[in-house]
Amino acid sequence: MRLLVLLLLLFQAGCATKYMLPGNRFLTPESQGEAFRGQIEIQKTTGNELSIDTTQGTIDEGVIYSEVSRTAFLLSNSLFDQLDLFWSHTAGANSMLGGKFQFLGGSRVSKATGHKLAIAAAIGSNEHETDDGVVDFTLGGQEYLILYGYRFAEEFILYSSLSQANYHFDGEINLNGSTIDGLQPKIDSRIMSLSGGMEASMNPVFAKLEFTYQSISSDKTKAYTNFITGLSIGISF
């Protein structure tokens, strides 16, 4: 019986300390163009699920990485011709609010061919509680991106991005009778990503296919690399 209780506690602790970091971002270098033009898209992507390693009865063993399929969305709206605000969210991860400024090439609405270049940044912080109430935690993040693309025709653009994201997990475990009860794990993670993608459109509908190579570094954990793909469909308005 004691062994069974211990196994259950370890199983609960292992499942309760999971949190999500995003995968594909699907940001092209083109601003929407003009003022108050927008688009919304639904995405299917791979997210990074991090589990704090509690197998030794501590929180000092770092994290365990795994890849999971997730649904996400991206909502963008222009303030003026070169500047967009956006809201992105991956299921189980943070909502991120950000801005994108295009300083080379024509906007999306202009459909101008040629080179495009932009910078973007996003920030988000959410308080969470696991479904069973075992862990309360805050997850905060910042992301910075350089975006390049080339539009070959009105209906087709190739794009790429180089990004760095920093995330901080700050939690407290509430599991009576367990050796990890009351412990407060704090984990910093950094994600370096290189993405390449393509977008095909038939106004106002469009679709994107994106490939991303990531390197994730977390405290007390060996660096983790993965290659992920994602698909997005959306509409402009």
What pLDDT, in 10s, does the model give residues 68-102?
999 999 999 999 999 999 999 998 888 999 999 99
- The rounded distance, in Å, linking the Cα atoms of 166 and 141 is 5
Asked whether the predicted pLDDT for residue 233 surpasses 90, the reply is yes
Contact yes or no for 85/38 (Cβ under 8 A): no
- Neighbouring C-beta atoms of residue 226, cutoff 10 Å: 15
pLDDT given for residue 219 in this prediction:
94
- The rounded distance, in Å, linking the Cα atoms of 228 and 161 is 14
- The rounded distance, in Å, linking the Cα atoms of 207 and 220 is 39
**CA nearest 165: which of 67, 98, 86, 220?**
98
Average pLDDT, the chain: 88
Calculate mean pLDDT across residues 50-61.
Answer: 84
| Length of the chain as a residue count | 237
Report the SS3 class of residue 55.
coil
Beta strands in the chain (DSSP E): 18-21, 38-52, 63-80, 83-90, 95-104, 114-129, 135-153, 156-173, 186-202, 205-218, 224-236
**How far, in Å, are 43, 47, 231 from residue 218 at the CA level?**
26, 16, 27
Backbone phi and psi for residue 5, each to the nearest 5 degrees, phi listed first: -60, -45
**How far, in Å, are 56, 173, 184 from residue 220 at the CA level?**
14, 19, 15
Amino acid type, 2: R
- The rounded distance, in Å, linking the Cα atoms of 174 and 189 is 23
Predicted TM-score (pTM) of the model is: 0.86
- The rounded distance, in Å, linking the Cα atoms of 45 and 71 is 6
pLDDT given for residue 11 in this prediction:
35
- Tens of pLDDT, residue by residue over 133-159, are 567 788 999 999 999 999 999 999 999
In the chain, the percentage of residues whose pLDDT exceeds 90 is: 69
What CATH architecture does domain 2-236 belong to? Beta Barrel (2.40)
Q: Which residues contact 63 (CB under 8 A, 6 or more apart)?
A: 50, 51, 52, 53, 187, 189, 218, 219, 221
Asked whether the predicted pLDDT for residue 30 surpasses 50, the reply is yes
Q: What tokens does 177 get?
A: 């009778």
pLDDT given for residue 19 in this prediction:
85
Calculate mean pLDDT across residues 5-27.
Answer: 60
